[in-house]
Amino acid sequence: MKKTLSDTNILLRSQITDDPHGEIKVKLAEFLLALIQAFLRTGYYTPDHPEAQKAKVGLYEDFQSLFSQRDELTFLVREELEGKNILIEGVLPEVQDLNGLMIAGMAEMYVPRFVKFLEQKDLISLTLKNAMTQTEFTSFVDVMSEPTFVDTKETGAKEKFSHTLQERNIFNISYIYNEELVIARNIPWRSQIALTRLKKDFSLVPFFTDLDLEGLKKVRKQIIQDLIRPLRNAEAIYHILMNSDLAVTEEFKEAEIDEEVIEALADDLLIQISQTLLKETCRQEETEPAQGKSVELAKQFASALNLGEIKGRESILGEYVKHKLISIEQLPNEMRHQIRLEQLIRKFLQDSKSFLTQFDKIQDQKQYLRVARALLELIPELIRRDQYGAVLEIIHCLDRHFREKEHLSSCAGHILDEISKGETISALKNKFLIGKMEICQTITPIFLALGGRSVPHLVPILMRSRDLLVRKNAVEIIAQIDPATIGLVLNKLNEKGSETRSIIDILRVLGEIESDEWLQPLANTLLGYLSHESPQLRVEALRVFFRIKGAEGKSLYFDLLNDPDIDVQKEAIHCLARVKSTTALGKFLEMLKNLEASPSAKTERLEACLFGALGFYGNLELPGQGSLEDFLLATINSQLSIGRLKFSTVKGKAIKAETIAAICEALGNVGTSKSRKILQKLNKQKDSLWQNKAQEALTKIAAREAN
């Protein structure tokens, strides 16, 4: 019947609730306790005694349950300040301290006894491989516990112990005596252990089995894989490689050991050890070739890194080349190309003027194209590094060749065409679309230098970007290159399905560009939008139309006074007022009179706009009504009690604050000293909508009087 350790189990599980490896730690701790107890207990009895048999029940199954694949469990005895301690390797990703793995009470009782047990045998490392059969495992426990081998410090006892293991077919273990530890060099303790084990395991192979060359290679690979698998310390493995000559035997040579160790490394360790190799071998800024084994290892690591797409390898391989540990020819094609590109960038940026002067001197077409294509490849990298000035230098140089060098013109033109179609233009567009003013300003000269080649790329930017700055810059560039190409933009605007917000933004920026060549095509496009279903779009189209046509559109503005949307009507009123149409003035006064006679919620929204429009006309005399100033003062006096400043007329209709503000604004434009009294009264109304307008009006009147 399999033994249970219920109390221990409960204590262990209570300690590892939040540990991702908690379950396996519990199983490992239980097995280790049972194994140590078996070692200690069976020593009192013969192997076939019931108590000895009882100690071994279920132990092999517990051992095998720790592993999911080929693996091993290693005990390491290490000298520390507090005394000797036992470390556990294997099963778990990290090395475990036996004291920390077991619960306190059990650790205090059994760890010192187990230390003494191994110390008496002079063992500093003991490894159990899970390839053991049950018979082999049971025999191993028996041999370890035999009274004959309680103390194996003497050479004769060690030899007898080894012969006994061989006689009983116990091969899937590895052990190191204290006297065997390789200490010839100043290398880390864990690396010493590994090198010692390698040499010993290698030396035992010929005695255990008769192998041919292929068989020896297979065994060598397995020994090294078993050794490296539990090691996660890059520095330890680095020192194993640097000192692998200490593990050499007649059958297993240094270069072969290094090759197998590197092959056994996981990708992350390949990277880490490569970094350690660089750190240990190459001083900062030192570029002289490294000597000795470092070079050989670097070549092997480079080869291993080249075999797979290992994340992070590029920078390491680049450093290998920089420090001349390997040549650039040993790199993958893509990396060779990238490094040469980096060298070209560095050379160009150091002295671009000299570089391009040499380029100017080339007369042979093949050589010219070769250098031009190198420059073409350079440009996207320069853009990524925000080296826009350098990009502009290259394009100006190519453009000059296109215009001035007849025999090379087609070559230069071809390269410029490629710039405007490939990775370069994509990189420029992506930067431009970021929408930062300083970036747009530095990229603009590049688009201008490309001329008409850049227009097909700028039009989609203009149509798709939601950034007003980007759109404005795109329009300005297009207009500078060739104002006639604005027609492309207009054609895009006329396509169905364009988004209203986008059209409004584009119309707004188009209206700000000064160029007579495209004004009429734009005006025609705007006329189409003045009947668009979106009132917001009609308003913007009218604003831009007025900006470019002014008084020429008076009849259109009159027609739009009848638009169903109030905002469009307001914009039409502003347009007519700004051109000082006297016909429109009469219309405005008539509309105000109708508003007073039969007000409605819809028409009242025009009131403030109409009063504000009067301010554009100056202080005109109105037939039979006096001046515009008189009309405005009469209006406000009839609706506002000067003494009490209450918002009521004789008919009791409330006057809107917006209307008072609009009248104040109009008086500021047309008023005289006659308006001062009421404006001063209105200015005293703190926090009112019109207070600022009244103050501004008083300031304007005073300025006119002073002149």
> Is residue 524 domain-resident?
no
Q: How far apart are CA 116 and CA 112, in angstroms?
A: 6
CA dihedral 235, 241, 243, 248 (to 10 degrees): 150
The token pair at 159 is 């030899």
- Distance from C-alpha of 357 to C-alpha of 351, rounded to nearest angstrom: 10
Spatial separation of the C-alpha atoms in residues 226 and 67, rounded to whole Å: 14
The answer as to whether 350 is a domain residue is no
- Pick from 340, 356, 380: which residue ends a domain? 340
pLDDT at 350 over 50: yes
pLDDT digits (tens, 9 = 90+) for 653-682: 567 888 899 999 999 999 999 999 999 988
Task: Answer yes or no: do 244 and 312 share one domain.
Answer: yes
pLDDT in tens, 537-553: 899 999 999 998 999 99
Q: Are residues 25 and 165 in the same domain?
A: yes
pLDDT for 280 equals: 76
Q: Are residues 163 and 223 in the same domain?
A: no
Per-residue pLDDT band for 30 (boundaries 50, 70, 90) equals very high
Instruction: Quote the pLDDT of residue 284.
Output: 43
What is the rounded distance in angstroms from the CA atom of residue 663 to the CA atom of residue 661?
5
Residues 234, 157, single domain; the answer is no
Q: Confidence band (pLDDT; 50, 70, 90) for 521?
A: confident
The C-alpha atoms of residue 16 and residue 34 are separated, in whole angstroms, by 20
Mind giving me the DSSP string for 477-519? HHHHH-GGGHHHHHHHHHSTT--HHHHHHHHHHHTT---GGGH
Task: Say which residue, 535 or 207, is predicted with more confidence.
Answer: 535
As a whole-number percent, the residues of the chain with pLDDT over 70 amount to 90
Whether the CA torsion 520, 524, 525, 526 is positive or negative: it is positive
Which residue would you say has higher pLDDT here, 5 or 471?
A: 471
Residues 334 and 248 in one domain: yes
The pair of three-digit structure tokens given for residue 174, joined into one six-digit string: 């590895």
597 inside domain: no
- Name the domain count of the chain: 2
Mean pLDDT of 206-235: 81
Which residues span the domain enclosing 13? 6-177
Q: Is 234 within a domain? A: yes
Assigned domain for 64 exists? yes
- Sequence-ordered alpha helix ranges (H) in 89-167: 98-101, 104-120, 134-145, 155-167
Q: Which of 132, 162, 177 is at the close of a domain?
A: 177
In a domain, 558, yes or no: no
Q: What is the mean pLDDT of residues 305-315?
A: 81
Q: Can you give the pTM of this predicted structure?
A: 0.56
Q: What is the pLDDT at residue 645?
A: 46
β 92-97/621-622 pair status: unpaired
Same domain, 268 and 165: no
Nearest residue to 193 via CA among 67, 74, 32, 35: 74
Whether residues 51 and 168 fall in one domain: yes
Q: Which of 310, 340, 370 is the last residue of a domain?
A: 340
Q: Are residues 159 and 34 in the same domain?
A: yes
Residue 646 has pLDDT above 60, yes or no: no
Distance, in Å, from the CA atom of 270 to the CA atom of 80, rounded to the nearest integer, reads 30
Give the pLDDT confidence of 89-115 residue by residue, as tens digits. Answer: 988 888 899 988 888 888 899 999 999
Work out the average pLDDT over 140-158.
87
Q: How confident is the model at residue 515 (pLDDT cuts 50, 70, 90)?
A: low
How confident is the model at residue 9, as a pLDDT?
53
Does residue 84 sit in the same domain as residue 151? yes
Nearest to 681 by CA among 632, 627, 644: 644
Residues 11 and 153 in one domain: yes
Amino acid at 380: P
696 in a structural domain? no
Which pLDDT band, with edges at 50, 70 and 90, does 494 fall under?
low
Mean pLDDT of 440-463: 87
In a domain, 37, yes or no: yes
Contacts of 679 (CB under 8 A, 6+ apart): 664, 667, 671, 694, 697, 698, 701
- Residue 129 and residue 21 share a domain: yes
pLDDT digits (tens, 9 = 90+) for 474-490: 888 888 887 777 767 76
Same domain, 229 and 121: no
Instruction: Please report, for residues 29, 490, 504, 567, 659, the alpha-carbon distance to residue 526 in angstroms, rounded to integers and kept in the order given.
Output: 83, 10, 11, 17, 31
> Is the pLDDT confidence value at 446 over 60?
yes
